[in-house]
A and B are shown apart, each in its own frame.
Chain A
Amino acid sequence: MIELTRPGKTSLVIDNPVMPAAGTFGFDHAPYRALIDVGKLGAVVTNPLTWRPRRVARGPRVVPLPSGVLIHTGLPNPGTNRAIKQYGARWARSEVPVIVHVVATSPADVARCANALDRCEGVAALEIGLHDQATPDDVAQILAAAEANTLLPLLVRVPLYQAVPLARAAEAAGAGALVIAAPPRGTTRDPETGQLVGGRIYGPWLKAQALRATGQVAQIAGIPVIGSGGIHSPDDARDFIEAGAIAVQVDSVTWTQPHMLEVIARNLGGLELTRAVGALSDEWEPGMGQTMRIDRERARRGTPPEDDSPPDKPLPPK
Chain B
Amino acid sequence: MRIILVWTVWSSGVRRGHQDTWANLQFYPARCTLWPMRETQAIIERVRRVSDTLQQLHLSVDPSLAQAQAGQSLFAAPLNGGESYLREQWIPVGLREGQMVVEIPSAHPYTPGQVVSLLAPLGRAIPLRPHLQHMLLIANDALPTPFVWLAGDLCARGAAVTLVLGGRALAYPLELLPAEVEILRADTDWRWPDQVETLTWADQVIALAPPYACAEVYAGLYDTISQLRVQNVPDGYVFGLYYYRLACGTGACLACQIPGQKYDLLACTDGPAVDLKKVAFR
Contacts and interface: CB of A to CB of B under 8 A. Distances in A.
Interface of A: 23-26, 30-32, 34-35, 47, 55-56, 60-69, 71, 73, 76, 86, 192-193, 203, 252, 254-259
Contact of A256 (B36, B86, B251, B259): B86
Contact of B211 (A67, A73, A192, A254): A192
Given A26-B254, A61-B245, 11 more contacts: A24-B248, A24-B253, A34-B38, A62-B244, A64-B85, A67-B85, A69-B247, A86-B16, A203-B85, A255-B253, A259-B39
Given A35-B38, A65-B85, A73 B252 contact: no
Contact-size category for B:
35 or more
Contacts of A34: 7, 36-38
Nearest to A190: B212
The 8 closest A-B pairs by CB, nearest first: A34-B36, A26-B252, A31-B250, A56-B257, A255-B248, A31-B252, A61-B255, A62-B245
A67 B83 CA distance: 9
B246 to A, nearest CB: 7
Interface of B: 7, 10, 15-16, 36-39, 77, 84-87, 117, 119, 210-212, 244-259, 264, 269
Given A55-B259, A56-B264, A258-B39, A64 B252 contact: no
Nearest to A55: B259
A192 B104 CA distance: 16
A26 B245 CA distance: 18
B245 A76 contact: no
A146 to B, nearest CB: 24
23 contacts: A24-B252, A26-B250, A26-B251, A26-B252, A26-B254, A30-B15, A31-B248, A31-B251, A34-B38, A35-B119, A56-B255, A56-B264, A61-B255, A62-B246, A66-B85, A67-B85, A69-B247, A73-B253, A192-B245, A193-B212, A254-B252, A255-B253, A258-B250
Of A34, A203, A256, chain B has the most CB atoms within 10 Å of the CB of A256
Given A30-B10, A61-B244, A62-B246, A257 B254 contact: no
B43 to A, nearest CB: 16
B268 to A, nearest CB: 9
B177 to A, nearest CB: 25
Nearest to A47: B254
A69 B253 CA distance: 13
A58 to B, nearest CB: 8
Contacts of B258: 56
Contacts of A47: 252, 254
A76 B264 contact: yes
Contact of B252 (A62, A65, A255): A255
B88 to A, nearest CB: 10
A269 B219 CA distance: 51
A47 B15 CA distance: 17
A192 B257 contact: no
A93 B199 CA distance: 49
